[in-house]
């Protein structure tokens, strides 16, 4: 089992990464539970797969469960109430620990419920998708969507620990695995060219779920995220670089209807747009843009925006992005592989050109056939 630390002073916490963590007896992570009461929040898909395993692990505790419907479209205020209902019906006190067992949707909702219940109770992340293992379970961003914008209601609230059992990825649908790879590739692009080079060599191993490569990629990603969060927990600056591709991506997710495009898929297309913009600004070379786009494609991700989105559709959502300052859209762009910047230093004309580019045609000249 590998152990990393998110360094946040008195709120520091460990990330455990390994195989069979939910089923073996080496459960060092139980020491991070402070009371006797626990509530496991999960969903209808994950419960039949892993709820019994986690309950077995927690057999010494007074264990309650809350099983939510599955889907991004349920990451909302109404469904959040079900967690509060379960907490109150079970008479949970301030000493309760919430477990988030599932992907990013469950992690974001259970974390937000923990932040609110009795003004804050403990919670533990047990992420079961690649995306949640490398990104959403770390760093304390919790929250829900609003019909007018994604992740618009929430709180920064750190877990007691993160337990990453890579064995859970064996049941993950391929499309979800690819969506997680979008965030893995993001780390290479924004922070670490060595990681990007390694990913170019090992993308097929990751798609084939080769354990040692998977653990290496998850650990590398978590290290980068933990370092960024330690320096800028509340996103005063640096942390925003973790949003490469997200401003375009959130617009796609919101416009297409939550759940129709996966978060990672929308981020992949958003990353293509950010790469193209960085290239047209002269900040990255054609070869860098092309390598990154080819890696996203090899990971099984979409690289062309939905055909039914106009420039105005994009701009409408991008204007309510959390990075937008005084009406000015800010984007995460690259100044090389491994070097990201958050900037509004681009003209409205360039942004409009990026949003109206024929990506299908552009890809024909960029994609290298296998």
Which residues form the catalytic set?
Answer: 119, 141, 183, 225, 235, 239, 243, 246, 250, 263
3-state secondary structure of 149: strand
Residue 151 engages ligand NAD in binding (rule: CB under 6 A): yes
243 binds ligand NAD (CB under 6 A): no
Q: In the stretch 215-244, what mask flags binding to ligand GLY with x, by CB under 6 A? A: ------------------------x--xx-
**Contact region with ligand NAD (CB under 6 A), list: 23-31, 136-144, 192-200, 328-336:** 136-144
Binds 45, which of ligand GLY, ligand NAD, none (CB < 5 to 8 A, cut-off by type)? ligand NAD
Q: What are phi and psi of 320, to 5 degrees?
A: -100, 10
Least distance in angstroms from the C-beta of 89 to ligand GLY = 32
Cα(160)–Cα(144) distance, integer angstroms: 20
What whole-number distance in Å separates Cα of residue 112 and Cα of residue 142? 5
Beta bridge partners of 297: none
Question: Footprint of ligand NAD on residues 94-123 (CB under 6 A)?
Answer: 102-106, 108
Torsion of CA 102, 103, 108, 113, to 10 degrees: -10
Binding mask 300-339 for ligand GLY (x = CB under 6 A): ----------------------------------------
Enumerate residues 6+ apart whose C-beta is below 8 A from 344: 325, 328, 329, 330, 331
Q: How far is the CB of 318 from ligand GLY (least distance, A)?
A: 17
Among 14, 102, 103, 139, binds ligand GLY (CB under 6 A): 139
Pick 44 or 345: Cβ nearer ligand NAD: 44
CB atoms within 10 A of CB 56: 11
Spacing of C-alpha 41 from chain mean position: 18
**The entry of ligand NAD, ligand GLY, none that residue 103 binds, CB within 5 to 8 Å by partner kind:** ligand NAD
What part of residues 14-53 is at the interface with ligand NAD (CB under 6 A)? 43, 45-46, 49
Partner touching 239 among ligand NAD, ligand GLY, none, CB below 5 to 8 Å by kind: ligand GLY
Torsion of CA 71, 76, 77, 80, to 10 degrees: 40
Gyration radius (Cα) of the chain, Å: 20
């Amino acid at each position: 089992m590998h152990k990393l630390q998110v360094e946040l002073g008195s709120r520091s916490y460990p990330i455990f990464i390994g195989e069979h963590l939910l089923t073996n007896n080496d459960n060092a992570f139980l020491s991070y539970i402070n009371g006797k009461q626990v509530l496991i929040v999960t969903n209808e898909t994950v419960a039949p797969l892993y709820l019994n395993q986690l309950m077995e692990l927690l057999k010494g505790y007074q264990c309650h469960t809350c099983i939510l419907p599955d889907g991004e479209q349920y990451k909302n205020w109404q469904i959040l109430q079900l967690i509060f209902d379960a907490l109150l019906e079970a008479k949970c006190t301030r000493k309760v620990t919430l477990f988030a067992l599932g992907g990013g949707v469950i992690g974001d909702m259970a974390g937000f419920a923990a932040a609110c219940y009795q003004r804050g109770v403990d919670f533990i992340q047990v992420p079961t998708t690649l995306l949640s293992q490398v990104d959403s379970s770390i760093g304390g961003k919790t929250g829900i969507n609003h019909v007018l914008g994604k992740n618009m209601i929430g709180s920064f609230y750190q877990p007691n620990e993160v337990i990453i059992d890579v064995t859970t990825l064996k049941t993950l649908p391929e499309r979800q695995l690819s969506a997680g790879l979008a965030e893995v590739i993001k780390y290479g692009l924004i922070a670490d060219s060595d990681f990007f080079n390694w990913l170019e060599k090992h993308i097929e191993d990751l798609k084939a779920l080769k354990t040692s490569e998977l653990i290496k990629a998850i650990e590398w990603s978590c290290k980068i995220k933990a370092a960024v969060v330690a320096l800028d927990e509340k996103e005063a600056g640096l942390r925003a670089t973790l949003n490469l591709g997200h401003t375009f991506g959130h617009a796609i997710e919101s416009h297409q209807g939550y759940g129709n495009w996966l978060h990672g898929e929308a981020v992949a297309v958003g990353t293509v747009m950010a790469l193209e913009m960085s290239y047209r600004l002269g900040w990255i070379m054609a070869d860098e843009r092309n390598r990154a786009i080819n890696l996203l494609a090899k990971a099984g991700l979409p690289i062309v925006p939905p055909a039914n989105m106009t420039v105005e559709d994009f701009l409408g959502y991008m204007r309510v992005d959390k990075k937008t300052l005084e009406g000015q859209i800010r984007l995460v762009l690259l100044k090389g592989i491994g070097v990201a910047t958050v900037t509004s230093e681009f003209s409205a004309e360039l942004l409009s050109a990026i949003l109206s580019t024929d990506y299908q045609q552009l890809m024909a000249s960029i994609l290298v056939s296998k």
